[in-house]
Amino acid sequence: MKPLAIYIHVPFCVRKCAYCDFASFAAREDDWAGYFDALNGEIDAWAERLHDREARSVFFGGGTPSLVPAAYLADALRHLRKVVAFAPGCEITVEANPGTLNVDKLRVYRRAGVNRLSIGAQSFDAALLRSLGRIHTPGQIGEAVRMARDAGFANISLDLMYALPGQTMERWAATLDAALELPLAHLSAYSLIVEEGTEMARRVARGEAAVPDDDAVNEMQRYAVRRLEAAGLMRYEISNFARPGFECRHNLTYWSGGEYLGLGSAAHSLMDDCRFSNPPELERYLAGERRLNLAQRSASDRKEEMLMLATRTVRGLDLNRWRAEFGEDLTRSRAAQVRKLENYGLIEITDGFLCLTPVGLELQDSVVLELMED
Instruction: Please indicate, yes or no, whether the overall pTM of this predicted structure exceeds 0.75.
Output: yes
**CA proximity to 171, closest of 216, 205, 234:** 216
Structural domain spans, the chain:
2-254, 299-374
**CA proximity to 135, closest of 166, 167, 102, 97:** 97
User: Which fold does the domain 2-254 belong to in CATH?
Assistant: TIM Barrel (3.20.20)
Beta bridge partners of 53: 2
Return the SS3 of 38: helix
- Annotate 226-246 with three-state secondary structure: HHHHHCCCEEEECCEEECCCC
Query: SS3 helix, strand, coil % of the chain, rounded to 5?
Result: 45, 25, 30
Full strand arrangement of the beta sheet holding 260-263? 234-237, 240-242, 186-191, 155-162, 116-122, 85-96, 53-62, 2-10, 260-263, 268-271, 274-277, 292-296
Check residue 99 and give its pLDDT.
93
- What residues contact 126, with CB distance under 8 A and at least 6 apart? 137, 138
Class of domain 299-374: mainly alpha
Helices 214-230 and 169-180: crossing angle, nearest 10°?
Answer: 20
Check residue 238 and give its pLDDT.
97
**CA proximity to 116, closest of 134, 136, 96, 97:** 96
pLDDT < 50: residue spans in the chain: none
Check residue 27 and give its pLDDT.
82
Indicate the residue type of 73. Answer: L
